[in-house]
Amino acid sequence: MAFCGPKVRLWRWRRNPLKRRADTVEAWVVLGTWVLGVLVGVLAGWTAARGAEQATAQEPLARTSTVARVTERAPGTSPGTDEDTGSKLRVWGKVRWTAPDGTERTGWARVRPGSAAGTPVTVWIDSRGRLVTEPATPAQARARAVMAGGLVGLGAASVPLAIGHVVRAGLERRRLAQWDTEWARFGPLWSRNVG
């Protein structure tokens, strides 16, 4: 049965006659890596979230809704009107709308299943009259900002952590090389006295 002594907190910072300079350097590398990782992650995540919020806030300004008409019967069968059933089911259907410059445009938009030709559908267009997605709701905007900030923050924080890992691996190789050198020097003396 192996003996496990009490867990010593902050062992890297305690005075110890067996502690080498490399141990102290490693302690500072670990501390610096974590502090830098947290700072970089938080700042990058916050910046990305703010950028996503600003981009989402601009969506309603760059998009307008207009009424389009279904040009041919949409696939599927209609389960009733949205008001009757509360159905959110949509299929792709061909529609026609008038662009801001007065030209007729056609494209594909989400419509109720089984919509007949001539059925009105609300679509969103940009300033050039091209179909775009509906602007995000406030809840969707918050979710996008949180997701963007979280992913960018994690990605940015991983860079200093990875660099710290590489530095620690180099320190470990150096420590093992020093250990081999010292063992080669003192090992034969020790083994002579034992035998």
pLDDT surpasses 50 at 16:
yes
Contact 85, 114 (CB under 8 A): no
Q: Write down the pLDDT at residue 37.
A: 96
146: containing domain = 20-62+135-168
**pTM for this one?**
0.62
Q: Which residue has the higher pLDDT, 145 or 127?
A: 145
Whether residue 174 lies inside any domain: the answer is no
The stretch 78-91 carries a mean pLDDT of 62
Digit-coded pLDDT (tens) for 159-182? 999 999 999 999 889 888 988 888
142 and 54 within one domain: yes
Same domain? For 69 and 124 the reply is: yes
